[in-house]
Structure formats: C-alpha cells, structure tokens
Structure 1
Amino acid sequence: MEAKQATIYHNPACGTSRNTLALIRHAGIEPTIIEYLAHPPARAQLRALIEDAGLTPKQAIREKGTPFHELGLGRSGVSDEALLDAMVAHPLLINRPFVVTARGTRLCRPSEVVLDILPPVTAPFAKEDGEVVINVHGKRVR
C-alpha cells in the first residue's frame, strides 16, 4: 500500500466514522470506502484487521446498539472464535471504523487515532461537533 492510500471500513450513520473519513480526506487522501454493513469483510479478513490493529476480537466488538447481549456474547467463556463468528454473521457487531494505511491498521475510536497512521497533517481541523483536533498552530490537540 502506498503512503497516500487508505481503506476505511465505514458506517456513514456513525459520527466517529464520518469524522475519521473527514480526517483522512483532510490529509489529502481519497480512501477506498467499504461500507462494511452492506459489504462485510470475510472472516479471515476480519481476523487480519483485528490482529493488525493489535486487538483481540473482544476489544473489536461493539456492544452498544447491537445484538451483543441478546446473542449471549457478554457471558464469561465466550471464545474469540465465537466472537468472530458473531461479527461475521452480524456485521453491526464490528466496531468502527477500521482504517488501513501503509503505516498500519487502527480501530479509530476516537477518530483522531487515524492521525497515527496518516502522513503528517498540520492544517487546522475540527470534528463535526466543533471539537478541535488540530489547532491553528498545526498541533494535534490531545
């Protein structure tokens, strides 16, 4: 993957995902956008995304607004394999957004995590709610 390439596993209904996409574009990159609810990754690809981000399936699963509890995924002893199976069967369980660039893979929660895997960005940027991520001096606000 070249330095000016990125892929985002995106949910346009999610503010964090929209802010992440905006930051990627702010860095001068027009990413490949995969709306993962309509086009979910295959199991092996999902496993690779999670592992490349340095996470476990438990760290990459979304509970809020999903069938997580209804499926019994919160009980003790649920294996990583069972969590992966559930995410493949119910893509809404995949936390978002995952972003892949030549500099790595990240689950971008919060959205500014994406800056860790993008070329340097110094132009001011604020999230859609007005929160400043990069100030007028080109410094990342933490």
Structure 2
Amino acid sequence: MKAVIYHNPACATSRNVLALMRHAGVEPEVVEYLRTPPDRARLITLIAAAGLQVRDALREKGTPYAALGLADPALDDAQLLDAMFAHPILINRPFVQTDRGVRLARPSETVLEILPPVHAPFRKEDGEVVIDAQGRRPTKKPGQ
C-alpha cells in the first residue's frame, strides 16, 4: 500500500500514527512538514479529501494562532491558507494519505480507517490500548 504521512516527530500523536502505520505493515513516505511543507495545491487537496474545511486543519496549541488573530470568523480560506504557509506549524497533523483515502489522524486511531486490518495488539506511547490482545478496539465509555 502506498502511503504518505505529513509528520512532526516532536508530536506524540504523529509518532503514534507513524508507529500504528508500521504496525499495520505500511511503510509510508514520511514528510516532515515543518521542513518541507506541502505546496498550496497539495494542502488544499489533502484538506478536501479528508472532508475538512480549511479552518478545521488549523492547529491552535503551540502556534501563533492567537497572536495572528486567526480566530476571526471574517477571515476567508485564502487568508487562513496564507497564514499556514507563512507558519507551517499552523498545519494540524498528521495528515495521512493511503490508497484508501486521506485523514487528519486526530485522534491517532483515526488512521485505522484507511489502513489494512490490524489484529495484533497495539498501545500508544502513553500505554493506551488501541488494539487489545484479541485484536479488537476497546470501546470507550462516555466521558473517556
């Protein structure tokens, strides 16, 4: 399976997604998007293919989002994209593209929707079970 992950190695979610992809037997092309951001057309394509609006692809935490006034609802998609290109840290991560589609893999287990079936146990870095010993995804109780 061909796959690409727009990755930030400093991000735990991104690291978990990459590990989960490899656990599923998929060795993706890893694009460290802070070093090599996708071009405008590519980012627009990823956002649309993931079924998102541009605003949904913006990262707020640990970015200049507030300082740039990006919460202003009057800003249009072009202005938001301009900010994302000026400050790639504003691009939420990780975006993953496989033969089965595109997802903004937040939470990390969202990537399972576009990977081959995974039955072997998998835990996130923090120990959270994503796939249990029986090959099932644990159900979360309300409020978890």
- On whether the aligned pair clears a TM of 0.5, the verdict is yes
Q: Which residue of 2 aligns with 1:65?
A: 62
Taking structure 1 as the reference length, the TM-score comes to: 0.96
Gaps of 5+ in 2: 140-144
TM-fit CA distance, 1:34? 0.1
Report SS of the residue matched to 1:114.
Answer: helix
Q: Which residue of 1 aligns with 2:93?
A: 96
Cα deviation, 1:77-113, whole Å, max 9, x if unaligned, reads 1111111111111100000000000000000000000
Q: Which residue of 2 aligns with 1:17?
A: 14
Report SS of the residue matched to 1:9.
Answer: strand
Report SS of the residue matched to 1:54.
Answer: coil
TM-fit CA distance, 1:67? 0.5
| 4+ aligned runs moved over 4 Å, structure 1 | none
User: Does 2:43 align with 1:46?
Assistant: yes
Relative to structure 2, which stretch is displaced further, 76-85 or 48-57? Answer: 76-85
Relative to structure 2, which stretch is displaced further, 62-71 or 9-18? Answer: 62-71
Report SS of the residue matched to 2:51.
Answer: coil
Report SS of the residue matched to 1:64.
Answer: coil
Q: Separation in 1 of the partners of 2:7 and 2:126?
A: 19
Q: Which residue of 2 aligns with 1:27?
A: 24
2:116 partner letter: P
Alpha-carbon RMSD: 0.7
Gaps of 5+ in 1: none
Taking structure 2 as the reference length, the TM-score comes to: 0.95
TM-fit CA distance, 1:76? 2.3
